[in-house]
Amino acid sequence: PTITRREDYAPPAWRVPDISLAFALDEARTRVSAVLRVERAGSGPLVLDGDDLDLKSVSVDGRVLGEGDYTLANGNLTIPLTGDTATVETVVEIAPAANSKLMGLYASGGNLCTQCEAEGFRRVTFFPDRPDVLSRYSVELNADKARYPVLLSNGNPVAAGDLPDGRHFARWDDPFPKPCYLFAVVAGDLRALEDSFETMSGRHVKLAIWVRAADVEKCRHAMQALKDSMRWDEVHYGREYDLDVFNIVAVDDFNFGAMENKGLNIFNSKYILADAETATDADFDAVAAVVAHEYFHNWTGNRITCRDWFQLSLKEGLTVYRDQCFSADMGSPAVKRIEDVRALRAAQFQEDAGPLAHPVRPESYIEISNFYTATVYNKGAEVIRMAATLLGPENYRKGTDLYFERHDGEAATVEDWVKALEDGGGADFGQFRLWYSQAGTPTVTADLAYDPAAKSATLTLAQAVPDTPGQSQKAPMHIPLKIALFGRESGSLLGPEQLFQLRGASATMTFENVGEPPVLSINRSFSAPVNVETKRSAADFAFLSAHDDDPFARYEAMQQLMMDRLVDAVRSGGTDAAPLVEAVGRTLRNQALDHAFIGESILLPTETMIAERLVANVDPDAVHTAREGVRRALLEGVGRDTWSALYTSLSDGAYDLSPGGKGGRRLKNVALGYLFSRPDEAAVAAAEAQYTAATNMTDRIAALGLLVDTDTAARERVLQDFYDRFKGDALVLDKWFTAQALGTSEGTFEHVVALAGHRDFTIRNPNRFRSLVGALAMNQFVFHRKDGAGYRFVADSLLEVDAINPQTAARFIAPFGRWRRMEDARAGMMRAELERIVGTPGVSRDTFEMASKSLV
């Protein structure tokens, strides 16, 4: 397969300032006429990308071309134009109903919609499908009026009306030049939840979220999030919305979360629909975060787009950072930071430590869809967070203002962004740029020495950036570390927090007037995406978990305490959990902490995180046994009565979505989880009662998830009840499949295999496929069954999907990429599955790239 390299970037030879598109929409066969006004910008013929297009005609300046006047090769259309400008018209036919890749124009739930990022527009019409070709779009849609009463595209609506034969039309003009990946069309039988927004300059924008008629009421949370994000972007970045309308459409079949098409966002319905009965607190938060994310792209991605796909983090890292800050402002900043770091460690740190590691700005790819990764998104966001920390809020804002001023209407690069931050914010980011080019999670070692006679403490810091595929011998990074010392005796801060900029391979930092033995608090608020190694003892972590005033650092101390205990338990089988029990008990008793924070900090690291920490020769059975042992030690050490009392005390809170309401449910369900580490009859009865009486999905699914892993009659009752209640709601049924695939009890695997034959299971819907097979692949204990059946099942399933939807299939390779960390027998079986996948005739480029890289 062809490799695309960053260093080979060349500007386009032809620009396309304007394009008019006419769609005669039909599920089986849609006719697309495109008129492109092209202008020469370099040398060579006009090359238009195409994929799976049935070409009907081509003309240039009104003259119809014969077959000898152009070439069609590998799907692309090449026209040898001699002048500097031309009007090129193509007519093609495409088949939306047969489009199972969900890229280009496809059918979902009887409606038609598009997905063009990254390279799907070439499946709609012939065009230079690259993000640095910006065009003004004018679009005419016509379709059967009864079947597709709603016709939407980007920009503002300019005309609509009836046509003969029961058809109708709508015309849309988008005044803002955009790359073709932001193009969108929707045709369907949809209803809208409507609202409006007055922008900071007093313009009125019509807002609409389009869904099935029955789902309109489930859009209220998304609508509120949209209005909140519009205001937030005005206040925090000075960015105002720019069209007369903002439309969102929710569809059931979607490869990703959502898409920021200009003025017409298209969403996976999972990130729009929410009400108490069907969505958990986490779902509500995800809806708001994704709505905000897509809205924020209007400036970071759409008004300023990417020059090429290597610059993807320019829009994605920045937009994730913006949505993280938005969610923090709308809820609990401390809990949000903990959640974001947990997600970063679970996905990105693993990626950075494995065969698929790549820089935030990658150097090459086979299939760009494989680079919508945790590194580009989440590490990219951390890099911007570090830049903001180094600049401070005022200078960061000056930097972003300058970025918008300089590059509005352009296709920009990561370098443009960093330069604007430097010039606007007044900083030198020379070394900082390495965060974009060097892959791998740096390790920072920190050693604190105390001299009681001199009343001084010396902190010795060192950094190392690990080798990653294609990169070794890396230069030291510019790492902002927030640091504070606490007095071991007084329990208080010894001086204010400091921001230390570690730039060299090593450095020392001296603290004066340290009148008592200090305890080190480092990387507070997770100021840098690094692994920190210190010689701090269990007593130090227990101390910080009780005294640190930085919520993240406090959480982190408890997690370290837990992780050290868990690693010991795996290695030596010991379960002396006394310091941990003491720390958890103290945290539970601390009235000053909010429930959500307590719930987060007393959760044990997952089995996958423990395996990651073990680095090599991992035996997932031993990890599972060790974690279960520590869970039970916490149940018994803290006391079943204490957990029960906590559970009961939180059980009659009224349902609301306030941070307090969500926190109460979180802690209550964590407490129930501990009771289920050795479920007695009372715990099972409490969970069934909670399931039955639940007024909301958070409580219902939490109880179901625990009961699923028991061998009780209650298990069968709640599973059946859940199915009967929600079988008509696809998103909720996904939860039913997932809950069963996440079990660890005997028979879970066989049960999942049986569910793959359930009448409601289908590999054609990405959400449903992920809900069962994705959940199993995330279930470390079952995926890594000793006999290799978990590997075989996931590999077989992904190959089946690969034949119809390569993008969705390729995302299932990553769990196999951890083979080098596993004990020999499992490593061999995982490797063998990867080899089988790579050797499968007709395997997609997407899956081939991921699997072949995972073998290295």
Please identify, using beta-carbon distances, which residue of 540 and 802 lies nearer to ligand HT7: 802
Give the distance between the most distant pair of CA atoms in the chain.
95
What lies within 8 Å, CB to CB, of 361 at 6+ separation is: 6, 310, 311, 313, 414, 436, 437
Residue 293 found at the interface with ligand HT7 (CB under 6 A): yes
Number of residues that bind ligand HT7 (CB under 6 A): 15
ω into 118 cis (within 30 of 0): yes
Please name every residue paired with 173 in a beta bridge, in sequence order, or none if there are none.
Answer: 138, 156
State the nearest-atom distance from the C-beta of 118 to ligand HT7, in Å: 5
> Residue 26 or 323: which CB sits closer to ligand HT7?
323
Neighbours of 495 (CB within 10 A): 12
What residue 369 binds from Zn ion, ligand HT7, none (CB within 5 to 8 A, per partner kind)? Answer: ligand HT7
Strands (E), 488-609: 498-502, 506-511, 518-522, 531-534
> In whole angstroms, how close is the CB of 313 to Zn ion at the nearest point?
10
Give the residue, chosen from 140, 294, 548, 600, that forms a contact with ligand HT7 under the rule CB under 6 A. 294
Binding partner selected for residue 341 from Zn ion, ligand HT7, none, CB under the kind-specific 5 to 8 Å limit: none
Contacts of 474 (CB under 8 A, 6+ apart): 434, 438, 440, 465, 467
Comparing CB distances to ligand HT7, the nearer of 320 and 485 is 320
Would you say 483 and 500 are in contact if contact means Cβ atoms under 8 Å apart?
A: yes
Window of 312-320, 470-478, 496-504, 754-762 that interacts with Zn ion by CB under 5 A: 312-320
Q: Nearest residue by C-beta to ligand HT7?
A: 256
At its nearest, how many Å lie between ligand HT7 and the CB of residue 766?
10
- 205's contact among ligand HT7, Zn ion, none, with CB below 5 to 8 A by partner kind, is none
SS3 label, residue 838 = helix
Instruction: Pick between residue 321 and residue 372 the one whose CB is nearest to ligand HT7.
Output: 372
Binds 99, which of Zn ion, ligand HT7, none (CB < 5 to 8 A, cut-off by type)? none
Decide whether 316 or 600 has the Cβ nearer to Zn ion. Answer: 316
Q: Name the β-bridge partners of 55.
A: 92
**Distance in angstroms (rounded) separating the CA atoms of residues 381 and 296:** 14
Residue 105 binds ligand HT7 (CB under 6 A): no
Select from Zn ion, ligand HT7, none the partner in contact with residue 420, using the beta carbon and a kind-dependent cut-off of 5 to 8 Å. Answer: none
99 binds ligand HT7 (CB under 6 A): no
Minimum CB distance to ligand HT7, residue 330 (Å): 19
Residue 255 binding: pick among ligand HT7, Zn ion, none (C-beta 5-8 Å cut-off by kind): ligand HT7
CA distance 713 to 119: 51
* Selected range binding Zn ion among 160-168, 265-273, 310-318, 737-745, rule: CB under 5 A: 310-318
In angstroms, how far is CA 401 from the centroid of its own chain? 26
Residue 337 binds which entry of Zn ion, ligand HT7, none, CB below 5-8 Å type-dependent: none
Query: Could you give the angle at the alpha carbon of 61 between the alpha carbons of 59 and 67, nearest 5°?
Result: 25
Check if the beta carbon of residue 283 is closer than 8 Å to that of residue 406: no
Q: Helix, strand, or coil here: 529? A: coil
- Nearer to Zn ion by C-beta: 247 or 319? 319
CB of 805 to ligand HT7, least distance (A): 11
Q: Which stretch binds ligand HT7 (CB under 6 A): 253-261, 599-607, 616-624, 741-749?
A: 253-261
Using alpha carbons only, what angle is made at residue 202 by residues 196 and 205, rounded to the nearest 5 degrees? 25
DSSP H/E element including 20:
strand 14-24
119 or 802: CB nearest Zn ion: 119
State the binding string over 303-342 for ligand HT7 (x if CB under 6 A, else -).
Answer: -------------x--------------------------
**What does 361 bind: Zn ion, ligand HT7, none (CB cut-off 5 to 8 Å by kind)?**
none
Cβ atoms of 151 and 170 within 8 Å: the answer is yes
421 binds, among Zn ion, ligand HT7, none (CB under 5 to 8 A by kind): none
**Hey, which residues are catalytic here?**
294
Buried b (16+ CB within 10 A) or exposed e, 396-416: bbbbbebbbebbeeebbbbeb
Nearer to ligand HT7 among residue 15 and residue 297 (C-beta): 297
- Using CB under 6 A, pick the residue from 14, 106, 310, 372 that binds ligand HT7: 372
Residue 367 interacting with ligand HT7 (CB under 6 A)? no
Say if residues 497 and 552 touch (Cβ distance below 8 Å).
Answer: no
Q: Minimum CB separation from ligand HT7 for residue 119, in Å?
A: 9
Q: Which stretch binds ligand HT7 (CB under 6 A): 211-219, 292-300, 485-493, 573-581?
A: 292-300
**Rounded Cα distance, 186 and 150, in Å:** 8
Q: State in angstroms the smallest separation of the CB of 409 from ligand HT7.
A: 19
The nearest distance, CB 445 to Zn ion, in angstroms, is 35
Q: Residue 576 corresponds to which tokens in the numbers above?
A: 């002396």
Query: Which is closer to ligand HT7, CB of 26 or CB of 316?
Result: 316
- Binding positions for ligand HT7, 803-822, rule CB under 6 A: 807
**Strand boundaries in 41-127, DSSP class E:** 46-48, 54-60, 63-64, 71-73, 76-79, 85-94, 104-108, 111-115
Q: How far is the CB of 293 from Zn ion (least distance, A)?
A: 5
Rg, the chain, Cα only: 28
Task: Give the Cα separation of 79 and 592 in Å (integer).
Answer: 71
* Three-state secondary structure call for residue 382: helix
| Four-residue CA torsion sign, 835, 837, 842, 844 | negative
Q: Which two tokens stand for residue 90?
A: 């193509």
Spell out, one character per residue from 313 to 332, where the chain touches Zn ion: x when CB under 5 A holds, - when not: ---x--x-------------
Residue 72 vs 347, nearer CB to ligand HT7? 347
Paired with 40 in beta bridges are 14
At its nearest, how many Å lie between Zn ion and the CB of residue 346?
A: 19
Task: Provide the minimum distance between the beta carbon of 377 and Zn ion in the complex, in angstroms, as a whole number.
Answer: 7
Asked whether 515 and 456 are in contact (CB, 8 A), the reply is no
* Contacts of 430 by beta carbon, 8 Å cutoff, 6+ apart: none
| Beta bridge pairs of residue 471 | 468
**β-pair type (63-64, 54-60):** antiparallel
The least CB distance from residue 207 to ligand HT7, in Å, is 19
Residue pair 775/741 in contact (Cβ under 8 Å)? The answer is: yes
CA dist 313 and 379 (Å) reads 9
Q: Which is nearer to Zn ion, 309 or 552 (CB)?
A: 309
Q: Which of residues 108-137 bind ligand HT7 (CB under 6 A)?
A: 115, 117-118
691 in the Ramachandran plot: left (φ > 0), alpha (ψ -120 to 50) or beta? alpha
Instruction: Enumerate the H helices of 305-379 as residue ranges.
Output: 312-330, 333-343, 350-352, 374
Kindly state the smallest distance separating residue 260's Cβ from ligand HT7, in Å: 5
375 is a site residue for ligand HT7 (CB under 6 A): no
Nearer to ligand HT7, 294 or 619 (CB): 294
- Residue 779 vs 807, nearer CB to ligand HT7: 807
How many residues of this chain bind Zn ion (CB under 5 A)?
Answer: 2
Residue of 174, 260, 283, 550 interacting with ligand HT7 (CB under 6 A): 260
Burial class of residue 80, CB neighbours in 10 A (0-12, 13-18, 19+):
exposed
Q: Which two tokens stand for residue 32?
A: 């697309």
Binding part of the chain for ligand HT7, among 291-299, 303-311, 321-329, 401-409 by CB under 6 A, reads: 291-299
Scanning residues 597 to 626, which ones bind ligand HT7 (CB under 6 A)? none
Applying CB under 5 A, the residues found at the interface with Zn ion are 316, 319
Interface with ligand HT7 (CB under 6 A): 115, 117-118, 255-256, 258-260, 293-294, 297, 316, 369, 372, 807
